[in-house]
């Protein structure tokens, strides 16, 4: 089974498991590092706690044991997306309008592969941002990844 298909199956099941709670599914990743990892990222208003992760992990583990949709050996991780979360969904871009973001490009954009910008909005297939006080429109097809910026 393809990685994308596994992520889709798990996303649907997690949505069912968290229905009616304050929890929100941020992302599901099925990736191979040294081992296979099934990572589920959740959030809620005010942030999630260890108990939120533990409860969902136990419920999801029960489903995974019964349905057995993944043939490989893997490690399950349920966690917060972190302070520098990746923005993927339309609701992520809407929620974080006005915040600084890190943009990583597939190839250099105006001479750079990475930049910090202030998020104005996502409008269809483009991202509208402010860079050094100037509004820019960047096509999403040119962007590899968008994360919340953390200022140290």
Q: Dump pLDDT digits (tens) for 115-127.
A: 999 999 999 999 9
Say how many C-beta atoms besides its own lie within 10 A of residue 62's C-beta.
Answer: 11
Domain with CATH 3.30.300.70 in the chain: 3-79
CATH code of 90-148, in short, is 2.30.30.100
The β-bridge partners of 128 are 121, 137
Nearest to residue 124, comparing CAs of 145, 140, 101? 140
pLDDT tens across 37-83, in order?
999 999 998 889 999 999 999 999 999 999 999 999 999 999 999 88
Residue 91 reports pLDDT greater than 80: yes
Predicted local distance difference test score (pLDDT) of residue 151: 85
Record the pTM: 0.80
**Domain 3-79, classified CATH 3.40.640.10, yes or no:** no
Domain with CATH 2.30.30.100 in the chain: 90-148
Predicted local distance difference test score (pLDDT) of residue 152: 77
């Amino acid at each position: 089974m393809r990685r994308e298909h596994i992520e889709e199956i798990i996303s649907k099941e997690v949505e069912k498991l968290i229905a009616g709670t304050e929890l929100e599914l941020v992302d599901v990743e099925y990736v191979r590092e040294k081992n296979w990892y099934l990572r589920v990222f959740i959030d809620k208003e005010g942030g999630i706690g260890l108990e939120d992760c533990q409860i969902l992990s136990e419920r999801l583990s029960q489903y995974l044991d019964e349905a057995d949709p993944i043939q490989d050996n893997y490690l399950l991780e349920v966690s917060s997306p972190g302070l520098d979360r990746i923005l993927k969904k339309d609701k992520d871009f809407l929620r974080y309008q006005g915040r600084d973001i890190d943009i990583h490009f597939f190839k250099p954009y105006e001479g750079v592969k990475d930049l910090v910008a202030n998020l104005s909005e996502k409008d269809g297939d483009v991202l509208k941002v402010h860079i050094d006080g100037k509004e820019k429109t960047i096509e999403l097809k040119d962007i590899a990844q968008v994360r919340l910026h953390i200022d140290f």
